[in-house]
Amino acid sequence: MSEPVRPGAVVLFGSGENGPVGREALRWLRASERDPRSVVVLETPAGFEVNAEAVAGKWARFLRRQSELRRAEVEQIPARRRGTPFTPDDPDIARPILGADLVVLGAGSPTYVARQLRDSVAWSNTIAAHLLGASLFLASAAAVAAGTCALPVYEIYKVGEDPHWKEGLRLFDLYGLRLAVVTHWDNAEGGTGLDTSRCYMGEARFRELVALLPDGVAVVGIDEHTAFVVDPLAGEGHVVGRGEITVIRERREDTFASGAQLALAQLGPFARPGVDAVAPEVRAAVASARSEREAARPPAEVDALMAKRQEARAKRDWSTADRLRDEIEQRGWHLEDTPIGTRILPRR
pLDDT of residue 8: 96
Residue where a domain stops, chosen among 246, 274, 292: 292
DSSP state letter for 294: H
C-alpha distances (whole Å) from 84 to each of 8, 17, 48, 78 are: 31, 29, 11, 11
SS3 261: strand
Alpha helices in the chain (DSSP H): 20-31, 52-64, 91-98, 110-117, 121-131, 141-145, 153, 197-200, 203-212, 280-295, 300-314, 318-330
Backbone φ and ψ of 150, nearest 5°? -110, 135
Question: Hey, what long-range contacts does 83-90 have (CB within 8 A, 24 or more apart)?
Answer: 86/43, 86/47, 87/120, 88/42, 88/44, 88/116, 88/117, 88/120, 88/121, 88/122, 88/123, 89/120, 89/121, 89/122, 90/121
Q: Which helix (H) or strand (E) holds 171?
A: none
Q: Are residues 284 and 306 in the same domain?
A: no
Q: Are residues 330 and 288 in the same domain?
A: no
**Of 26, 107, 101, which is closest to residue 286 (Cα–Cα)?**
101
The answer to whether 281 and 2 have CB atoms below 8 angstroms apart is no
Residue 18 domain-assigned? yes
**Of 173, 127, 94, 144, which is closest to residue 7 (Cα–Cα)?**
127
User: Dihedral, CA atoms, 83, 85, 89, 93, nearest 10 degrees?
Assistant: -170
Q: Are residues 29 and 174 in the same domain?
A: yes
Residue 115 domain-assigned? yes
pLDDT digits (tens), the chain, 348 positions: 456 789 999 999 999 999 999 999 999 999 998 989 899 999 999 999 999 999 999 999 999 889 888 778 899 999 999 999 999 999 999 999 999 999 999 999 999 999 999 999 999 999 999 999 999 999 999 999 999 999 999 999 999 999 999 999 999 999 999 999 999 999 999 998 899 999 999 999 999 999 999 999 999 999 999 999 999 999 999 999 999 999 999 989 999 999 999 999 999 999 999 888 899 999 999 989 888 777 666 777 877 888 888 888 888 899 998 898 888 888 887 777 765 567 676 665
**Of 118, 21, 113, 14, which is closest to residue 62 (Cα–Cα)?**
21
- The Cβ-side half-sphere exposure at 211, using a 13 Å CA radius, reads 7
Q: Are residues 255 and 228 in the same domain?
A: yes
Question: pLDDT tens digit string along 157-201?
Answer: 999 999 999 999 999 999 999 999 999 999 999 998 899 999 999
3-state secondary structure 110-121: HHHHHHHHCCCH
- Domain carrying residue 218: 10-292
Count of C-beta atoms within a 10 Å radius of residue 323: 14
Please, which residues have CB within 8 angstroms of residue 339's CB and are 6 or more apart in sequence?
none
Residue 3 domain-assigned? no
**Of 34, 269, 212, which is closest to residue 25 (Cα–Cα)?**
34
**Of 328, 304, 228, which is closest to residue 12 (Cα–Cα)?**
228
Residue where a domain stops, chosen among 292, 308, 327: 292
Q: Give the predicted TM-score (pTM) of the model.
A: 0.86
Residue 254: which CATH number?
A: 3.40.50.880
Question: pLDDT tens digit string along 277-317?
Answer: 899 999 999 989 888 777 666 777 877 888 888 888 888 89
Residue 94 CA to residue 87 CA, distance in Å, equals: 9
Q: Are residues 159 and 232 in the same domain?
A: yes
Q: Are residues 186 and 314 in the same domain?
A: no
The domain tally of the chain equals 2
Residue 53 domain-assigned? yes
Strand partners, 12: 138, 228
Q: Are residues 54 and 180 in the same domain?
A: yes
The answer to whether 169 and 114 have CB atoms below 8 angstroms apart is yes
pLDDT of residue 1: 47
3-state secondary structure 132-151: CCCEEEEECHHHHHCCCEEC
SS3 152: coil
DSSP symbols for 211-249: HHSPTTPEEEEE-TTEEEEEETTTTEEEEEESSEEEEEE
Q: Are residues 256 and 116 in the same domain?
A: yes
SS3 262: strand
Residue 112 domain-assigned? yes
Residue 146 CA to residue 228 CA, distance in Å, equals: 13
Residue 2 domain-assigned? no
pLDDT of residue 314: 84
Residue 5 domain-assigned? no
Q: Are residues 171 and 280 in the same domain?
A: yes
Residue 1 domain-assigned? no
Residue 124 CA to residue 342 CA, distance in Å, equals: 31
pLDDT of residue 133: 94
Q: Are residues 248 and 263 in the same domain?
A: yes
Q: Are residues 175 and 274 in the same domain?
A: yes
Q: Are residues 254 and 307 in the same domain?
A: no
